């Protein structure tokens, strides 16, 4: 951030990940914010230059109460580590159609007094382990459960253990993490009935065929037995250290100027020497932030973050640069195209973990009665033509999952609706082989309420602002170009 010169930024608010030790920028104020989605995002924040410790997430915001509790839900002494529990008006009611998880995470507040508003009666257990620092702010220590972040994805270690345990040759397994720079990498310790030099390949191939690639272990270590402590739990301290060099392939030196430039950029970003053209970006500990740093070092080449995250190795990235003139019209709206890597990760997670009711993204717009319902319906149909990906679905008729034209997206027009009707519209799962978006127009006395629901395979957090801007432009009579760039992304990945 300090490399940004003459920026127009006055304040930058960051959140979603642990900031940790970070040098405060000179040109603008950096604010570190914290808060789970279940409590309407942020509950605390602090200027980075005011932290007394890198773990600090600041004091609580208004209308919020927090408790640091032990396993028996008793307050721990100041400075001791406990689970962060939150009460306040912004705490959610629970998880939709997930009663068991709701009952575990959202509980009755045992500390509420008669003078407290009734909104403080519900307590959300975050699972974050914190302590109160000397200045009264909260300091995040880690997680209560085995959930960790791997390359930006939250992963349950027990889920990977279960998958590996399904292999016939595996009799016992524990999955742990090790630090690789600022990132976590997965280590699978296995006990096998068949000692094999190919145990890593066998385990990784099996996990890759059942789980997204970010859940594939970077290291696999075979043991005679998993060490246990006196309580019968895995003795993590007794587990052998990983050989970090094993995550690197046999060294292959760069052969031309482009490969040398890319390898040099890799070595600077990862602060390692002797990185070869076949070393994998992800296994070296790469994430989206590392990809951005690489792009800044490779500004003389036409390389994007998506290229880094999909091609992985200096060899493949260099080959992509050399073949930049490749035919990007390989796919069409009539032929469809393969799912790209992020889309495929979502798809595999749905299939592997039965998450058919997940990955829905709702949006809401209020439209003036300067426009009538026919104009609004026409605008929806037009934006489906301008952004054809919104009318695609997933087909299994190819060797790999494909995006193809789906059935006509439903557009409902209602004048009065019950809450149950709206809830059903927003929460109903998608049939992936039919359509991945739907719309509802509700005519009110003063305006129209337009609801849209999209599947994450075709829509993400950045798509909403684009959709709303283009939708308003269409309502105002503007002509927009068709955006079929998703076809070119698949062609380039090929």
Q: Is 191 helix (H, G, I), strand (E, B) or coil?
A: strand
Task: Say whether pTM exceeds 0.75.
Answer: no
Interval 312-362: pLDDT, tens: 899 989 888 765 444 556 788 888 899 988 888 899 889 888 888 889 999
Residue 276 φ/ψ, nearest 5 degrees: -100, 175
> At CA 361, angle to CA 39 and CA 333, rounded to 5?
160
Residue that terminates a domain, selected from 119, 143, 167: 143
In a domain, 4, yes or no: no
Per-residue pLDDT at 60 exceeds 50: yes
If DSSP states are collapsed to H, E and C, what string results for 347-397?
A: HHHHHHHCCCCCCEEEEEEEEECCCCHHHHHHHHHHHHHHCHHHHEEEECC
Mean pLDDT of the chain: 86
CA dist 81 to 46, 51, 131, 182, Å? 20, 19, 5, 23
Question: Per the structure, how many domains does the chain have?
Answer: 4
Q: Are residues 87 and 157 in the same domain?
A: no
Looking at 23-177, list the stretches that DSSP marks H as alpha helix, in order from N- to C-terminal side: 99-105, 157-165
CA dist 177 to 21, 242, 404, Å? 20, 10, 39
Q: Are residues 104 and 232 in the same domain?
A: no
| pLDDT band, residue 197 (cuts 50/70/90) | confident
| pLDDT band, residue 432 (cuts 50/70/90) | very high
Q: Are residues 489 and 341 in the same domain?
A: yes
Residue that terminates a domain, selected from 122, 143, 164: 143
Identify the top-confidence range among 245-254, 270-279, 431-440. 431-440
**pLDDT of res. 174:** 93
**CATH number, position 271:** 1.10.1200.10
Q: Which residue has the higher pLDDT, 289 or 211?
A: 211
DSSP 68: E
Q: Which residue has the higher pLDDT, 117 or 458?
A: 458
| Range in 206-220, 315-329, 405-419 the model is least confident about | 315-329
Range of the domain at 95: 11-143
Q: Average pLDDT in the 54-68 region? A: 90
Q: Are residues 342 and 483 in the same domain?
A: yes
Q: Are residues 378 and 442 in the same domain?
A: yes
Q: Average pLDDT in the 389-394 region? A: 94
Q: Identify the CA nearest to 470 among candidates 366, 374, 382.
A: 382
Per-residue pLDDT at 5 exceeds 70: no
Q: Are residues 360 and 225 in the same domain?
A: no
Contact in structure between 22 and 30 (CB atoms under 8 Å):
yes
Q: Average pLDDT in the 69-96 region? A: 89
Q: Are residues 353 and 289 in the same domain?
A: no
Instruction: Judge residue 416's burial from the number of C-beta atoms within 10 Å of its C-beta, 0-12 exposed, 13-18 middle, 19 or more buried.
Output: exposed
Q: Average pLDDT in the 390-411 region? A: 90
Q: How far apart are CA 309 and CA 297, in angstroms?
A: 16
């Amino acid at each position: 951030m300090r490399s940004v010169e003459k920026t127009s930024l006055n304040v930058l608010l960051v959140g979603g990940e642990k900031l940790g030790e970070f040098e405060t920028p000179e040109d603008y104020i950096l604010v570190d914010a914290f808060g789970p989605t279940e409590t309407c995002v942020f509950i605390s924040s602090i200027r980075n230059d005011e932290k007394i410790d890198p773990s600090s997430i600041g004091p609580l915001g208004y209308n919020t109460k927090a408790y640091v509790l032990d396993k028996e839900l008793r307050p721990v002494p100041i400075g001791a580590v406990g689970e962060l529990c939150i009460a306040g008006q912004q705490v959610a009611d629970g998880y939709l159609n997930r009663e068991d998880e709701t009952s575990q995470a959202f509980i009755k507040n045992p500390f509420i007094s008669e003078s407290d508003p009734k909104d403080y009666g519900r307590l959300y257990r975050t699972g974050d382990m914190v302590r109160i620092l000397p200045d009264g702010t909260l300091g995040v220590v880690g997680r209560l459960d085995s959930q960790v972040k791997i390359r930006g994805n939250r992963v349950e270690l027990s889920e990977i253990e279960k998958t590996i345990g399904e292999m016939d040759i595996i009799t016992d397994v524990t999955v742990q993490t090790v630090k690789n720079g600022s990132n976590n990498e997965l280590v699978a310790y296995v006990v096998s009935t068949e000692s094999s030099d190919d145990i890593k390949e066998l385990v990784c191939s099996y996990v890759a065929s059942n789980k997204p690639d970010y859940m594939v272990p970077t290291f696999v270590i075979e043991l005679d037995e998993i060490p246990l402590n006196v309580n019968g739990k895995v003795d993590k301290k007794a587990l052998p250290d990983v050989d970090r060099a094993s995550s690197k392939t046999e060294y292959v030196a760069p052969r031309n100027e482009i490969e040398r430039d890319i390898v040099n950029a890799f070595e600077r970003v990862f602060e390692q020497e002797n990185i070869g053209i076949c070393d994998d970006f992800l296994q070296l500990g790469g994430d989206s932030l590392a990809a951005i740093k690489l792009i800044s070092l490779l500004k003389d080449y036409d390389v994007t973050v998506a290229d880094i995250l999909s091609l992985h190795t200096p060899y493949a990235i260099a080959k992509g640069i050399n073949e930049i003139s490749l035919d990007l019209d390989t796919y069409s709206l009539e032929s469809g195209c393969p799912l790209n890597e992020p889309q495929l990760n979502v798809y595999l997670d749905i299939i592997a973990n039965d998450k058919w009711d997940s990955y829905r993204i709702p949006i809401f717009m209020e439209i003036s009665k300067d426009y009538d319902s026919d104009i609004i319906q026409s605008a929806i149909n037009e934006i489906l033509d301008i952004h054809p990906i919104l009318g695609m679905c997933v087909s299994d008729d190819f060797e790999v999952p494909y995006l193809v034209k789906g059935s006509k997206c439903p557009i409902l027009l209602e004048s009065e609706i019950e809450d149950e009707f709206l809830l059903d519209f927003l929460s109903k799962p998608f049939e992936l082989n039919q359509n991945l978006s739907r719309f509802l127009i509700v005519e009110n006395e003063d305006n129209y309420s337009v609801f849209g629901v999209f599947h994450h395979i075709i829509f993400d957090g950045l798509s909403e602002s684009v959709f709303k801007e283009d939708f308003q432009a269409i309502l105002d009579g503007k002509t927009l170009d068709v955006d079929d760039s998703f076809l070119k992304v698949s062609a380039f990945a090929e």
